[in-house]
Amino acid sequence: MKILLIAGGWSSEREVSLNGARGMAEALRALGHSVTFFDLLTEFDQLLPQAREHDFALINLHGAPGEDGLVQAMLDRVGCPYQGAGPAGSFLALNKAAAKQLFRHAGLPTADWEFLPCPPPADWQPRLPYPLFVKSNTGGSSLRLGRARDRAELDKVLAEIFAAGDEALIEPELKGREVTCGILGEEALPPILIEPVAGDFFDYESKYATGGAREICPAPIAPELTDRVRELALAAHRALGLRGYSRADFILDADQNLTLLEVNTLPGMTSTSLVPQEAKVIGLDFGQLLERLMELGMARRKS
């Protein structure tokens, strides 16, 4: 197939996107596909003409544009199939405050939160007790994320988020270990247990530095807990109206309770990223996983 590999873009996660796309292009060419590497930052105005000339678009964008549904909506207008969620599901998953409303509506366990779309007034006080986790409402890769143990630390993280033009989401600090679980088609994959090597939460350095975290797949947890993680990941996928694939992240506390953090509609896609690790456990190597994503995207177009 002639594949348009869309990467780069202009979000803060641009370099993560480009690095992953290089490995994807290599794997696709090894399988005999013709690949056009398309950097959205420099070629945005040529997206539709290029899409019309290709059989399929593989999107490897993180943040907005990409995870906000813009590219998907444009591809839909010219009938170019692509992998993963459509425009609406992408937008809802990227907006953490909106997604948490949908999780709560669906009865899924998610932490309480406070949404700040703009800097609060001087006399504002958070509704939730310290310590707090503060994050960009539409960011990813654990960028602009921090823990606040008091008002001074809270103000510092909020200032960084608002200076970048983002909205802020505040949640209570959740003690426990991180577990993540991918969805492929309508099947939940084997979960991964994540243990940061440096620090005590899965920040940007832990995600992308060599040896920054131990990622154990399948997760060494009880079988009934594995089933529960997979059940919740699939329920979150459906609550957001997603398709194709996604990845849900959880905190597992000392009492074996799970709290849903968020769902990623364009999860990292290098050969050692989380979803490819999970796919490998069920017998799909990196190239086979990419081909499965394309099969799912083509099937959706035909239906």
Are the beta carbons of 138 and 166 closer than 8 angstroms? yes
CA distance 92 to 164: 21
Are the beta carbons of 72 and 91 closer than 8 angstroms? no
Q: Please, which residues bridge with residue 135 across strands?
A: 145, 169
Active-site annotation holder among 11, 90, 246, 273 = 273
Active-site annotation holder among 11, 12, 90, 141 = 141
Active-site residue flag, 173 = no
Active-site annotation holder among 11, 13, 206, 215 = 13
The C-alpha R_g of the chain, in whole angstroms, comes to: 19
Active-site residue flag, 13 = yes
Q: What angle do CA 152, 158, 159 make, to 5 degrees?
A: 90
CA distance 121 to 162: 13
Peptide bond into 218 cis (omega under 30): yes
Give residue 176's region: left, alpha or beta (phi > 0; psi -120 to 50): left
Helices marked H in the chain — which ranges? 14-30, 40-43, 47-52, 70-77, 87-94, 96-105, 151-163, 204-208, 223-239, 274-281, 286-302
Is 249 marked as binding a ligand? yes
Active-site residue flag, 17 = no
Which segments are annotated as binding site for Mg(2+)?
249, 262, 264
Which active-site residues does the annotation give?
13, 141, 273
Which segments are annotated as binding site?
249, 262, 264
